[in-house]
Amino acid sequence: MKTRITATALAMIVSVSASTQDTPLMSAEDFVSRASEQYGELRLEGAAAAWAYQTYITPDTALLAARAQERGLKFQSSAVEGARQYDGMELDTVTRRAINSIKWGTTLPAPNNDAKRRELSEIMTRMEGAYGSGKYCPEGPDSCRDLEQLSVVMARSRDYGELLEAWRGWRTISPPIRADYQRFVELGNEGARELGFNDMGELWRSGYDMPVADFRDEVERLWSQVSPLYEQLHCYTGNKLRQAYGEQAVPKGEPIPAHLLGNMWSQTWGEIYDLAEPYAGVAELDVTQAMQDQNYSAVHMTELAEDFFVSLGMPKLPDSFWQRSLLVKPRDREVVCHASAWSMDAGDDVRIKMCIEPTQEHLFTIYHELGHIYYFLAYRDQPIIFQSGAHDGFHEAVGDTVTLSMTGEFLKGLGLVEEVKDSPEALINSQMKLALDKIAFLPFGKLMDQWRWGVFSGEIAPQDYNAAWWDLRTRYQGIQPPVERSEDDFDPGAKYHIPGNTPYTRYFLAFVLQFQFQRALCEAAGFEGPLHECSIYGNKEAGALLWKMLQQGSKQPWQDSLEEVTGQREMDASAIIAYFQPLMDWLETENQGLACGW
């Protein structure tokens, strides 16, 4: 779910100084214009090098990617140096916003030192390569399994030992990343201090149109709105797993073993719906089986996602998208299969990179990635410096908002569900299946960056990386490692976004925003029933409202963009509670008498 080469990368790929000692200071408007022009010229090279490396991992492409990133980091230093000369000047709102974007629009601040920039770029390339080519080989090369193969085991197996082996096996790829990650933190923090921040975490939190100190409180406020629903879901799921694996494997009142939840990182639990199904046989929800029975291809799945956005009045994808995207894992080379959306040239060259399989999870992921693509296309007429989401959570929320309209009736229209039953039991089944993904994800989405903020600030020392990781996962998710872990392990590095240096709070915010957006779009569509029954498929009024917001990019504060769609100026998780109210009421009754909590 990582977006690549968006406008927030401007500060990374611009080589421009406002003046030298011997020349007068150019106007801020001219500085921004020149920076934007140079970025447009440099963007293609950086994007092409990164794309080539992630879709064809070799020592040669690694070198090219590292060198391109090194140049980008050098340009960043030059651009930031130039932009800081306008600090304290009275500028118009748009120009000040552009100057701030140049100064703060990077998640990878590099020290203003050639040797250290090169070291940082090589570290980043090495970490991404180690993750992308990672394999578990218990008995030599012939026994190797990659992440995709191990993830299938996690999703489909119900054998405790087999799950444990897959869980432990994938985590053998991350300890070698640990030393690089520690050095990355040192170099990135040095770069952040040169920008005027205490550390990288403070820099990351600066991009939300609010005081940096307030952002943590905002995240906690949103979590407090949804945590009661998560706690009820956790209690119910733990009891179902206890019934499946026995009380010795899943003790009452203790955190759930992390390898039993159907996902390599326990971040979503939808793959164990068969164990958690409230009413067996009441509603057929096995979309994956239907897709496989109908021989769904990667192209067809992507065409279905395109059709949804087109039904809202948005344009068809450019021909180049189909020619240049990577939709299927190649047989002849290593690639980074982690799904991502790319804007290569600030125009029509948009792509996704994903190793698509015919599963419901991948179908929903394609809709998510096309949400990024349509955001790219919507704001392509903005100045390049404003070609990004209103904030990063907006960018992640668009495609997921669309998936909320994939109701039973919608899936029936695709031929993936034969019958949609209208009964209280069928409703609870449907909501449970969605909650195992949407609600189960929320604490994971929150704690990923909470761990990194602690690492960046020094609150979490290198010798405590793994212990602190599991402390947060237990505290917020109520899960625990199935076997003893130590500081010889580096379990955070087994999740792509850590070695890939992708901030993660954006996903937590996106899971809040998508329900808030959906509620507003359904109102625009004239829908008057319960929120969980609404689909905006084919509704041009809802599509026009959404497209108008997307076109703004980051030119205005996100509060303004949010208000244009929802009428609200703050993020609000009450729409999640409204959507899942039937399930919440059911869970509170179902969990009575159970040993809840951890």
Q: What is the pTM of this model?
A: 0.90
Output the DSSP codes for 157-202. ---HHHHHHHHHHHTTSSGGGHHHHHHHHHHHHHHHHHTT-SSHHH
pLDDT of the residue at 284: 67
Contact 255, 234 (CB under 8 A): no
pLDDT of the residue at 295: 96
pLDDT of the residue at 79: 83
pLDDT of the residue at 14: 35
Q: How far is CA 323 from CA 218, 305, 326, 349, 367, in A?
A: 42, 17, 9, 10, 19
CA angle 207, 211, 216 (to 5 degrees): 80
The domain spans of the chain are: 228-447+502-590
Q: What pLDDT tens digit does each residue of the chain (598 aa) get?
A: 444 444 334 433 333 334 444 556 889 999 998 888 877 777 788 899 999 999 999 999 999 998 988 887 888 778 878 888 898 899 999 999 999 888 877 899 999 899 999 999 999 999 999 999 999 999 999 999 999 999 999 999 999 999 999 999 999 999 999 999 999 999 999 999 998 899 999 999 998 999 999 999 999 999 999 999 999 999 999 999 999 999 999 999 999 999 999 999 999 999 999 999 999 888 766 788 999 999 999 999 999 999 999 999 999 999 999 999 999 999 989 998 989 999 998 889 999 999 999 998 899 999 999 999 999 999 999 998 899 999 999 999 999 999 999 998 899 999 998 888 889 999 999 999 999 999 999 999 999 999 999 999 999 999 999 999 999 999 999 999 999 999 999 999 999 999 999 999 999 999 999 999 999 999 999 999 999 999 999 999 999 999 999 999 999 999 999 999 999 999 999 999 999 999 999 999 999 999 899 9
Residue with tokens 């344009």: 315
Question: The tokens of 33 are what?
Answer: 């214009």
pLDDT of the residue at 84: 85
3-class DSSP assignment, residue 502: coil
Q: Residue 296 is inside which H or E element, if any?
A: none
Q: How far is CA 412 from CA 130, 306, 353, 367, 415, in A?
A: 42, 18, 28, 17, 5
pLDDT of the residue at 35: 84
Question: The tokens of 583 are what?
Answer: 């399930």
Output the DSSP codes for 264-295. TTSS--GGGHHHH-SSTTSS---HHHHHHHTT
559: left (phi over 0), alpha (psi -120 to 50) or beta: alpha
Sign of the dihedral defined by the CA atoms of residues 465, 467, 469, 471, in that order: negative
